[in-house]
Structure 1
Amino acid sequence: MNFSILFKSIHVFAYSTIFCLAYPAVVQASPLSSSNHTKQVSEKAMPTHETNGILYQFVGCQQSGENLTCGVLLTTLTQDFGMYLTGNDARIIDLAGNQYSPRMFQFGDYGRQFLSGRINLVKGVPLKIVIHFQGVGTKMNGASLLELNQGKLKNLSF
């Protein structure tokens, strides 16, 4: 067995491995085919409203019987900001003009529910507020207005 050939091949293998790790190739993926049955993500932008340096972005609503739950992302764009929320600071108006007041709020999907309370927004960090409405008599698939504090989100579909 010729050891010099063996060592040269190990050297070439090691060098090519180090080179590949140091300079990884960029591979561009392409669609598999037009028959790809994966669910497409909607490119429709969610409604937003900006006022007093706070961006309000509609996340969506879900209805279960007479209970309606809606999510809004709040992001302060200028500085850290404290905000106090009460039931009087939110409402939803359905497409038929009926107005509903919130039963309670919560932070995110699993946060503590509260009737009123102070939230602290950190500049550039979105905070999800979930608003719970109760006694919604009709099946809603949209709303004319969802208002939270000074944010007014209009013409919503869900």
Structure 2
Amino acid sequence: DTCGIMPEYIHSLATATPIAEHVPVDFELRGCPVRKEQLLEVLGALLRGHAPRLTQGSVCESCKAAGHPCVLVAHGTACLGPVTQTGCGALCPAVGRGCYGCFGPREQANTQALSAQLAALGQTGPALKRLYRTFNAAAPAFEAESHRHES
């Protein structure tokens, strides 16, 4: 039962865009999904009147700290870990999968260097474009890099 709501009458945006394009945003929680620890840190800090303390760095740093082998170096698996903000606990590389970039690009993400490395491993332009167009496709660093690989 759709409770009288028909899909053809539901209004939605033509494209998925960050909420900051529509309303002012003071603070952004990263992740897909947001981690419980991150949410509790932010809420607690805001209630205390402090700035939240969230992790900085890349997913690669989390992999090294956890003792995971680098899927990019060891297996040639496409991985956004070098250009992605840490915070997920390196979930994907922990199971042998390349990072999807769910926490978005880190500050000063060197996407061009990563793309060059991936191209040297055999990734084509269309594959590189798809790699940067997942959860954070509208993030400026990922969006710009994906456009570089359009046919």
Could you say whether these structures have the same fold, taking a TM-score greater than 0.5 normalized by the shorter chain as the test? no
Report the TM-score, using the length of structure 2 for normalisation: 0.22
Q: Higher RCO, 1 or 2 (CA under 8 Å, sep at least 6)? A: 1
Larger Rg: 1
* Higher percent of residues as helix: 2
* Higher percent of residues as strand: 1
